[in-house]
Amino acid sequence: MKTLRIMLPVALLSFWTVAFAQPRGTPTAASDAQKSFDTMKSLAGTWEGPATLDPPDPQMSDGKPVHITMRVTSRGNALVHEMQEGGTPLDPTKYDHPVTMLYLDGDRLTLVHYCDAGNRPRMVARPSTDGKTVEFDFVDLSGGNDNGHMYHAVFTIIDVNHHTEDWTYLLPGNKPMHGHLDLHRAQ
């Protein structure tokens, strides 16, 4: 009887280990979200290039350069995307300097854009059909919407040193403004 009391927990533990544990080195199929996140993480680095707006904004010159940095952080669980208007000092109290965070949330790749408009739109990626394009759709918004908010984003990898970003901003009255960034790796 004493042997049975000792052997039963050992047998159950062995069964649990075999049934639920995955041996090290066994490959698992990556989810669409994980594949898209890996694609986005390949963009880590410093990027520069012109930004164009449609419709044009009289306060911003068409083709004005932007500076983008992307870095993987949190043990590979997040990607930080920082945008800065080219030729301006790094002073986010005076100049536009939005930060966007990308991370996996279960089986979804999520983007939260910390906007200079004072809000935080959240978007979720669609599965990539070509493996080089990651498109994000609006889910919800935290913070005020008096000045509009970011609504849509598309990242397209041309090659390891060239990618584009297309951002759609909804102005008050839900009027879309499209921003296109043609970026080349600076570092």
Q: What is the pLDDT of residues 148-163, one digit of tens each?
A: 999 999 999 999 999 9
Q: Is residue 163 part of a domain?
A: yes
Looking at residue 133, its amino acid is: T
Q: What is the pLDDT of residues 36-59, one digit of tens each?
A: 999 999 999 999 999 999 988 766
Q: What is the pLDDT of residues 104-150, one digit of tens each?
A: 999 999 999 999 899 999 999 998 888 899 999 999 999 999 999 99
Total length of the chain: 187
The pLDDT mean for the chain works out to: 85
Q: Is residue 22 part of a domain?
A: no
CATH of the domain at 147: 2.40.128.20
Q: How much is the pLDDT for 15?
A: 43
pTM of the model: 0.81
90: containing domain: 30-185
pLDDT at 92 over 90: no
Q: Is residue 71 part of a domain?
A: yes
Whole-number Å distance between alpha carbons of 70 and 183: 12
Q: Is residue 2 part of a domain?
A: no
Whole-number Å distance between alpha carbons of 99 and 80: 7
Q: Is residue 16 part of a domain?
A: no
Count of domains observed in the chain: 1
Q: Is residue 3 part of a domain?
A: no
Band (pLDDT 50/70/90 cuts) for residue 26 is very low
Q: Is residue 19 part of a domain?
A: no
- Cβ–Cβ < 8 Å for 110, 87: no
Q: Is residue 54 part of a domain?
A: yes
pLDDT: is 114 or 1 the higher one? 114
pLDDT at 22 over 60: no
